[in-house]
Amino acid sequence: MTKMRKAQSLSLPFSIPVIDIPALKNALSLAIKKCPKSREQVADDVSAILRKRVSVDEINSWTAVSKPGHLPRLDELAAFIMATGSPAPNGALAALAGHAVIGRRDADILRLAKLHRERDAAEREMEEISKRLSSDYLNEDRAHARSTDRAK
């Protein structure tokens, strides 16, 4: 006879976010509304990507805020994002962890700005080192000249 244990409370070093189901469903709904394809075409594309039939009714249940228990699995979500071309569902999920989803062009702009900032910092550091070295050499030359003058 097996005894059921009481659930133990876990002490984790981080908080577990509550998944905002309406936000995810709204993002799915927005993705399909902005998509130039019909819901039938999206369902067909999701089906082709997954190599299994996904119906329009299933897609509608994913987007319906009134059906919080009907969420796409991860593979279905990925196929939906690919079929609609929308980053909105990714954005809703990323927001849970305090992140944002940006496009490739914006990512390149941010990377370029970061590289410029790093280059500017490196140039300032090189200038400081050059000045310090110049000052050190100048002081060494003066010290050498003094010692030579004393020896005469």
Closest CA to 63 of 106, 105, 34, 97: 34
Residuewise pLDDT in 10s, the chain (152 residues) = 444 444 455 666 766 656 778 899 999 999 999 999 999 999 999 999 999 999 999 999 999 999 988 999 999 999 999 999 999 999 999 998 889 999 899 999 999 999 999 999 999 999 999 988 888 776 776 776 666 666 66
What is the pLDDT at residue 150? 67
Q: What is the pLDDT of residue 136?
A: 72
The residues near 100 (Cβ < 8 Å, ≥ 6 apart) are: 91, 94
> Which pLDDT score is estimated for 100?
92
Q: Residues 105, 20, 13, CA angle at the centre, nearest 5°?
A: 90
Dist. CA 42–CA 54, nearest whole Å: 9
User: Which pLDDT score, from 0 to 100, does residue 1 have?
Assistant: 44
User: In this predicted structure, what is the pLDDT of residue 9?
Assistant: 58
